[in-house]
């Protein structure tokens, strides 16, 4: 079985005096942040219960879905423009594209990638989910640097190669299989949920900021550049 494309992208990188530049693969960083959210929104916590009450959803539903959304917080890092910020990492990673300049932040790149590409493709692959209200959820988690993402960035092709979009698509599907197995998507089809979500959006965005901050801490999450199945990484490294 061919190795998934999303393992060819770095999410975090640092300089090491002995080894030069070292990296943490992007799918793993995404799961690190999701794992922090898993505990920040424990269904039995006062925080989760209050938010679920305001949204009129079950606390377990809120935790499960928001954890999935957190796993997509860095979709913009799949852009070749972002990947070009580190040019001397592992040979197995994607190669920089000299014509792609990183002049829009990855949070905005991720939101626009979802809005322009995956929102419609998700509906096409699953017609029964065509009325799901997901865009605000994605805006909340991609705004994990303390401000909402830009709604437009120009042409996606200035930042993403077709391989990058395919890698992001594979990761979304794999994250959905891992984190939303047997999930009830029904509440996302309720138009009134979006109105309620707006009222708590900044609280959820704050949780996303904290989850990203903690999920980026190397004291808790060691860098890993060896491709392992996402479910194995989730169970043996991210959650512990």
CA distance 234 to 232: 5
What tokens does 80 get? Answer: 């070749």
List pLDDT tens digits, range 96-137. 998 999 999 999 999 999 998 886 655 545 555 554 678 999
* Global pTM value: 0.93
Return the closest-CA partner of residue 66 out of 162, 137, 168, 123.
137
List pLDDT tens digits, range 196-237. 999 999 999 999 999 999 999 999 999 999 999 999 999 999
Which pLDDT value is given to residue 38?
98
Q: Are 148 and 140 in contact (CB under 8 A)?
A: no
CA distance 103 to 93: 21
pLDDT exceeds 60 at position 47? yes
List pLDDT tens digits, range 52-82. 999 999 999 999 999 999 999 999 999 999 9
HSE (side-chain half, CA atoms, 13 Å) at 178: 25
Which pLDDT value is given to residue 189?
87
Which pLDDT value is given to residue 60?
98
List pLDDT tens digits, range 196-206. 999 999 999 99
Q: Are 239 and 32 in contact (CB under 8 A)?
A: no
24 pairs with which residues across the strands?
12
Which pLDDT value is given to residue 146?
80
Return the closest-CA partner of residue 110 out of 37, 55, 168, 196.
168
Angle in degrees, CA 180, 151, 79, rounded to 5 = 65
Residue 1 banded pLDDT, cuts 50, 70, 90: very low
Lowest average pLDDT, out of 6-10, 144-148, 177-181, 221-225, goes to: 144-148
Largest CA distance in the chain: 55
Which pLDDT value is given to residue 92?
84
List pLDDT tens digits, range 10-27. 999 887 756 556 899 999
Which pLDDT value is given to residue 15?
74
Which pLDDT value is given to residue 117?
85
List pLDDT tens digits, range 156-180. 999 999 999 999 999 999 999 999 9
**For residues 161-188, b (16+ Cβ closer than 10 Å) or e, as one string?**
beebbebbbbbbebbbebbeeeeeeebb
Residue 87 banded pLDDT, cuts 50, 70, 90: confident
Check residue 150 and report its DSSP letter.
P
């Amino acid at each position: 079985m061919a190795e998934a494309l999303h393992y060819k992208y770095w999410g975090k990188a640092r300089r090491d005096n002995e080894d030069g530049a070292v990296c943490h693969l992007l799918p793993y960083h995404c799961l690190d942040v999701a794992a922090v959210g898993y505990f920040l929104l424990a269904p039995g916590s006062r925080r989760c219960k209050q938010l679920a009450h305001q949204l009129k959803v079950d606390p377990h539903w809120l935790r499960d879905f928001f954890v999935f959304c957190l796993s997509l917080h860095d979709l913009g890092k799949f852009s070749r423009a972002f990947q070009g910020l580190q040019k001397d990492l592992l040979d197995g990673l994607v190669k920089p594209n000299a014509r792609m300049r990183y002049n829009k932040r990855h949070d905005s790149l991720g939101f626009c990638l979802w809005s322009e590409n995956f929102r419609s493709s998700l509906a096409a692959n699953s017609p029964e989910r065509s009325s799901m209200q997901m865009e605000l959820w994605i805006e909340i988690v991609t705004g994990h640097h303390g401000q909402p993402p830009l709604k437009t960035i120009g042409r996606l092709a200035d930042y993403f190669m077709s391989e990058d979009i395919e890698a992001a698509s594979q990761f979304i599907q794999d994250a959905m299989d891992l984190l939303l197995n047997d999930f009830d998507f029904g509440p996302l089809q309720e138009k009134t949920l979006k109105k309620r979500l707006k009222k708590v959006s900044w609280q959820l965005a704050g949780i996303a900021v904290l989850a990203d901050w903690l999920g980026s801490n190397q004291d808790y999450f060691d860098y890993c550049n060896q491709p392992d199945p996402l479910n194995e990484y989730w169970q043996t490294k991210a959650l512990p």
